[in-house]
Amino acid sequence: MRTILTTIGLVLATALLIYIVLQIRQVLTWIVVGAFFAVALYPLVGWVQRRLLGGKRRALATFLVFLLVFILLAAVIAAFAVPLVNEGTKLAGQLPQQIADARAGRGPIGDLLQRTNALQWVQDNQDKISKFASGLTAPAASVASGFATGIAGTLTVFVLAYLMVLEGPKVVDGSLNVFRPTTSERIRQVGGDCAKSVTGYISGNLLISFICGLLTYFVLLICGVHFAALIALFVGIADLMPLVGATIGGAVAVLAGFIHSVPAGIAVLVFFVLYQQLENHLLQPLVFARTVKLNPLTVIIAILIGVELMGILGALLAIPVASMIQVILRDVWDHRRGRPKEEPTVGVDKKPATDAEATAVQSR
C-alpha cells in the first residue's frame, strides 16, 4: 500500500509540476533570456569593477554597464524611429493630394487605378470592404496586446538581468557553500566554462552580424538604394538570429532595392542568395567553431533542433546550450571514466600494477 501511494503521489506531483511550468512558461522564458544576457554581461561588469573601480563598488559597475547598454539600445531605436517619423510626416502631408490625384486618374497611382479598374471595383464592393474592415478590430487588438506584452517582457528581462549580475556572486557563493569544497570548486570551474561559451557565442554572433550589415551597406550603396545605412543596420540586427535572420533582413533589403529600381532589386536579391549560403554553411560554422568550440556539424544540428522546439528563441539559445551541454558532458567523462586512475591496476580483480610486476619478478 505504501508503494502504491508513493507512486500515485509521484505521478500527481509530476502532473502538477508540468501544469505549473505550462502556466508560467512565459515567465520562465523571461528568466532564461535574462540569465542569458546576465552571463553575457557578467565579464564586462567584472572588468569595469577591476580596472576602473579598483575591485570595489560592484553596484556602480553594474549600473554603468547597464546604462551603456540602455544608451546603445536607445540609439538603435532612434536610428529607426527618426527616419520613419520623418517619412511618415511627409507622407501624411502629401496624402490628401495623392488621394485627389488618384481619384482624378492623375499621377502613377491614378494611372494604375485607371488601367486596373480598381476604383470601379471599390465602388461596387463597398459593403464587403466595410465588413472586412470591421472584422479587423479583433486582430488589431491582439497585435496591440502582443506589443504591450513585448514591452513588458523587455523591461522584465532588463531588470532580471540587472539583478542577476548585481547579486550573482552572492547567490553563487551561497549555493556552492552547500557542497563539499572539492565539489563546489568543480561546479565553479564548469560554470565558468559554460559562461565562457555564452560569451564566445555572443562575440561570434556579433562578428557575423557586423560582416553581414557591412556587406549589405556596400551593396545597397553601390545600387543607389535610399536609406542604405538604416537598412543595413536592420539587416545586421536581424542577422543575430541564426539561419533565419539573414532571410528576414534580406527580404526587407530586396524590397527596398525593387522599390528603387528593378536592376537594383535583382542585384540585392542575388547578393543575399549567395551570402546566406556562405554564412549558413561556411562563415557561421567556422566562427562558432572557434568562439564556442563546437564542431560545425554540431552547430547546424543544434540550430535546427532549437528552431523546431522553440522557434526564434530556440535558434538564439541553441548554440550556447549545446556548448554548455558539451562542457558538462566533458566534465562528467573526465571525472567518471576518462580520467586516468590514481593507481594503475591489472586483471579482473583490479590488483595494483606494481604488485603484479613484483610478483612476476619473484616468479622468474
Domain ranges across the chain: 23-125+149-178, 180-337
Are 318 and 305 contacting, i.e. CB atoms less than 8 angstroms apart? yes
Chain-wide mean pLDDT for the chain? Answer: 77
pLDDT attached to residue 14: 92
- 19-23, 188-192, 207-211, 331-335: which range is least confident on average? 331-335
CA distance 219 to 195: 36
Provide, for the chain, the percentages of residues in helix, strand and coil under a 3-state DSSP scheme, each rounded to the nearest 5.
85, 0, 10
Name the band, by pLDDT with cuts 50, 70 and 90, for residue 213.
confident
What are the distances in angstroms from CA 340 to CA 98, 334, 335, 352?
A: 80, 9, 9, 14
What is the Cα–Cα distance from 280 to 262, expressed in whole angstroms? 27
Is 231 in contact with 252 (CB distance < 8 Å)?
yes
User: 197 CB contacts (<8 Å, ≥6 apart)?
Assistant: 292, 293, 320, 323, 324, 326, 327
Query: Does pLDDT of 361 surpass 50?
Result: no
pLDDT, tens only, 273-282: 888 888 777 7
pTM for the model stands at: 0.66
Instruction: Give strand pairing partners of 346.
Output: 351
Which is more confidently placed, 1 or 98?
A: 1
Averaged pLDDT, 160-183: 83
What percentage of the chain reaches a pLDDT higher than 90? Answer: 4
Q: Does residue 10 register a pLDDT over 60?
A: yes
Q: pLDDT value at position 82?
A: 74
Compute the distance between CA of residue 46 and CA of residue 56 in angstroms, rounded to an integer. Answer: 10
State pLDDT tens for residues 11-47.
Answer: 999 999 999 988 888 888 888 888 888 887 888 888 8
pLDDT digits over 44-93, tens only? 888 888 887 777 788 888 888 888 888 888 887 777 777 767 766 776 67
Mapped onto helix, strand or coil, the DSSP state of residue 326 is helix
Average pLDDT over residues 108-120: 62
Cell of 283: 562563415
Collapsed DSSP state (helix, strand, coil) of residue 293: coil
